[in-house]
């Protein structure tokens, strides 16, 4: 969703971020980063849907892991495991390319499920590698909070579960619908 001022200048581009990790801690090893831009679109018949824009995806070389999370991954589909563990780019390179993705927009408003998970893990690794975070902390949004405001509107299932890009796109579509309800 592009937030606009009265003179139609775009202030923010909404970006939904999803990570696949090997831990639940802020210093979790990241398997992959997926992100999509999104905005709600009003149809003529007053229905809303999401327009998914640009996307970003990368798999990352692995390092520290958690046994509990590996056990969880072993219970997922073979397709999800193969996708999550294929990464061959190092983490600093992934962070630089993700920053380029975010920096192509005037300003990004980033969404995570929850902001205290995906966004905090990313912020942690940006800090570890001394790379500037490509968004302002005041533009961090929580998809989990948004969806909890509308419990009667369930989140759709992603096409490919536990794929960071597929999860980000599904979350973005749902968030756009929920945001459109707030704007009515």
pLDDT in tens, the chain (184 residues): 444 433 444 567 889 999 988 888 888 888 889 999 988 766 656 555 667 788 888 887 655 567 787 788 888 888 887 777 776 778 889 999 999 999 999 889 999 998 788 999 899 999 989 999 999 999 999 999 999 999 999 888 888 888 888 999 999 999 998 988 887 6
Structure confidence at residue 77 (pLDDT): 83
CB-based contact 32:57 (threshold 8 Å): yes
State the number of CA atoms in the 13 A half-sphere of 164 facing the CB. Answer: 25
Question: Which pLDDT value is given to residue 6?
Answer: 39
- Specify the pLDDT at position 45: 60
Domain locations in the chain as residue ranges: 12-183
CA-wise closest residue to 84 among 95, 76, 93: 76
Residue 16 has a pLDDT of 92
The pLDDT score that the predictor gives to residue 65 is 66
Backbone angles phi, psi at 113, to 5 degrees: -120, 80
Q: Where are the alpha helices (DSSP H) in 3-153?
A: 67-74, 78-84, 91-103, 120-128, 143-148
Q: Report the C-alpha gap between 180 and 174 in whole angstroms.
A: 10
- Given the DSSP bridges, would you call strands 30-42 and 48-59 parallel, antiparallel or unpaired? antiparallel
How far CA 15 is from CA of 2, 7, 119, in Å, comes to 10, 23, 11
pLDDT of residue 106: 86
* CATH number for the segment(s) 12-183: 3.30.420.10
């Amino acid at each position: 969703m592009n937030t606009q001022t009265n003179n139609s200048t775009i202030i923010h581009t909404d970006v939904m971020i999803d990570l696949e990790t090997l831990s639940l801690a802020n210093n979790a090893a990241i398997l992959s980063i997926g992100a999509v831009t999104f905005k709600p679109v009003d149809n003529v018949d007053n229905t809303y849907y999401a327009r998914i824009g640009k996307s970003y995806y990368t798999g990352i070389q692995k390092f520290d892991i958690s046994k509990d999370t590996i056990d969880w991954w072993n219970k997922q589909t073979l397709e999800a495991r193969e996708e999550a563990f294929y990464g061959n780019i190092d983490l600093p390179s992934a962070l630089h390319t993700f920053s380029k993705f975010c920096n192509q927009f005037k300003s990004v408003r980033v969404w995570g499920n929850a902001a205290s998970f995906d966004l905090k893990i990313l912020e942690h690794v940006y800090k570890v590698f001394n790379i500037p975070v490509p968004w302002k902390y005041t533009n961090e949004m929580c998809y989990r909070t948004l969806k909890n405001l509308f419990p009667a509107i369930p989140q759709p299932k992603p096409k490919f579960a536990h794929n960071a890009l597929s999860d980000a796109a599904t979350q973005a579509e749902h968030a756009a619908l929920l945001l459109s309800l707030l704007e009515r």
